[in-house]
Amino acid sequence: MTEPTDDEAHDEAHGGALGSRLNWLRAAVLGANDGIVSTAGLVVGVAGATDDRAALLTAGLAGLLAGSMSMAAGEYVSVSTQRDSEKAALAAEKRELRERPEAELAELAQLLEERGLSSQVAREAAEQLTARDALRAHARVELGIDPDELTDPWHAAWASFLAFTAGALLPLLAIVLPPPDWRVPVTVVSVLASLVLTGWSSARLGAARPGRAVVRNVAGGALAMGVTYAVGTLLGAAGV
Ligand SMILES: [Zn+2]
C-alpha cells in the first residue's frame, strides 16, 4: 500500500536534482552569453575608434570586471532575498506544526490527495511522512522547497561571476591578440560562432527547439557589435 508513494518520492527526488542541475548549467550558459555579447559590443566599439591596443585591453578588462561584478552582486541580492523568504516560510511552517499538528496532518493529506492519491492512501502517506520528518514533508509538498538544499547566495554570486568572465574573455582575447587589421573580423567571427553554441545549448537545456534560439542569439550579438562599431567609427572619425 505504501510502496507506490515511496517510489513516487524517489522518482521526484531524482527529477528534482537533475532539474536543478540543468537549471544551473543553463544559468551558466546564459551568464557566459551575457559576457560575450556585452564585452564584444564594448571592444568592437572601441576598435571602431582606435587602433591602440592598450586602450582596447583597458576597455575590455574594465567591461569584464564591471559586468561580472554587477552580475554577481545582482545574483547575490536576488538569491539572498529568495532564501530569506524561504527561511521565513519554513519558520512559519515549524510554528504551525507545533501549535496545530492535527490540522497540519490533515492539510498534508489533502495536498497529497490533490496530487492524485486516494484519500485513504493520502492519509496513510501523510502520517508516515509526518512521523519521519514533518517539517521536511511540509516544506517539499506544501512550499516546494528542500530545507536541506536552500541556495547559497555566495555560490550563486561566484557562479555568475565566473560564467560572465569566461564569456567575456573570448571577445577580449579576440580583439587584443590579432594584428590591427584582423581584430574586428576575428572578433566578429569568433563571437558569432560562440553565440551559435551558447544559443543552441541554452535552448537544449531549456528543452526548447534550438533553431530559432540560435538565430535570435546570433542576431542580438551581431546587432550589438554593429551598433557599437558604427558609433565608435563615427566618434573616431570625428576625432573625439
Ligand atoms: Zn503545513
Write down the pLDDT at residue 226.
96
Residues in the chain: 240
- Distance in Å, CA 24 to ligand 1 centroid: 29
Q: At what angle do helices 153-176 and 3-49 cross, to 10 degrees?
A: 30
Write down the pLDDT at residue 234.
94
Tell me the pLDDT band of 2, cut-offs 50, 70 and 90.
very low
- How do residues 138-161 score in pLDDT, each as one tens digit? 999 999 998 888 888 999 999 999
Where exactly are the structural domains of the chain?
A: 3-11+32-234
What is the DSSP code (8-state) at residue 140?
I
Q: In terms of Cα–Cα distance, which of 110, 87, 102 is closest to 134?
A: 102
pTM: 0.78
- Distance in Å, CA 200 to ligand 1 centroid: 41
> Which DSSP string corresponds to 37-101?
HHHHHHHHHHHHH---HHHHHHHHHHHHHHHHHHHHHHHHHHHHHHHHHHHHHHHHHHHHHHH-H
- Distance in Å, CA 103 to ligand 1 centroid: 8
- Distance in Å, CA 5 to ligand 1 centroid: 19
> How far apart, in Å, are the Cα atoms of 34 and each of 57, 75, 117, 136, 164?
19, 14, 44, 37, 6
What is the DSSP code (8-state) at residue 152?
P
- Distance in Å, CA 18 to ligand 1 centroid: 26
- Distance in Å, CA 153 to ligand 1 centroid: 26
pLDDT at 90 over 80: yes
Cβ of 135: how many Cβ atoms within 10 Å? 15
149 vs 32, which has greater pLDDT? 32
